[in-house]
Amino acid sequence: MITLPRLGIGTAPLGGLFTEVGDLDAAATVQAAAHAGLTFFDTAPRYGHGLAETRLGRYLPAAGITEPVISTKTGWLLRPTGEPGGPTQVVPDWSERGIRESLESSLERLGRSRVDVLYLHDPDDFPDEVRRTAYPAVRRLRDEGLVGAIGFGMNHSGPLAAYVAEFEVDVVLIAGRLSLLDHDALHTLLPVCHQTGTAVVVGGVFNTGLLADPNPDAMFHYRPVPPDVLARAQRCAAICAEFGVPLAAAAIQFPLRHPAVSSVIVGCRSADEVVRNVDAYHWEIPDQLWQRLADEDFVPRDLVDSWRR
């Protein structure tokens, strides 16, 4: 099984997800990660149409991170719209040529000769292309040493579990489906990964921000939060507060208790968010809190005692 740092930084915010992030804040975010000893960064060409990768390539060396652990993604190419000076558009390309071109472009933006992990990014609607060309292509890239490990990065547990069962996969990234509010990956993806020895990286532990700050303006699964889900998140926060634990601490640490989970990545758009998330990762959480969260189905009761930190 591939070994990855337990905590990493997701760079979709550095690509401008929901809100633009300026160069100074982006640089400060990477610098704060370096100061906290974090070296694991997850990115993708689709994050800001290459902006997140470009910023990592620029700011990692400036922050003194000379040996980062980087995961990026493939399956989509950035193409000009045809308008003079216009933005690029993202188009799917699961051919071997497209997979290689995507990686080569990523390496150029990152300023690197290889990456540690390459995921096939959201191939939900392209199973035939994955089988015919995309998966064989990433295997060859791994054999050639251009990537250290290969896998799939997706938002849906069922299709991801099916890919793990079908292919030889080193690592998978599941976003938003193993959280205090969403246990979908528990009985679909994680048992398969545990059986096959496939490492699991969990993203979206805040469910698009709701579990970081449960307020009516928060997002849940990339959409405005429904009232009932907001009430659940606020109830979870209240239980954590009874034990003097920030909700974010429970959200970050919950997936890491499962033996199949190698890492959690948290999206950060500022130095302050890096500091707060690192503090949350290290926060001491009493067993009694996990038991209380299990009482109200935020944590699976049958697994509370058997999971490890």
Q: Which residues are catalytic?
A: 47
Neighbours of 304 (CB within 10 A): 15
Contact 292, 240 (CB under 8 A): no
d(CA 306, CA 227): 33
d(CA 112, CA 176): 29
Angle (CA) 52 118 22, round 5° = 5
Secondary-structure breakdown of the chain: helix, strand, coil percentages, each rounded to the nearest 5: 40, 20, 40
3 state DSSP class of 286: coil
Taking each helix axis from N to C terminus, what angle separates 135-143 and 96-110, rounded to the nearest 10 degrees? 50
- Containing 69, the helix (H) or strand (E) segment is strand 69-74
Radius of gyration of the chain (CA): 19
Token pair for 14: 């550095």
Token pair for 233: 């998140």
Amino acid at 228: D
Contact 31, 274 (CB under 8 A): no
Give the length of the chain.
Answer: 309
How many angstroms from the chain centroid is the CA of residue 298? 21
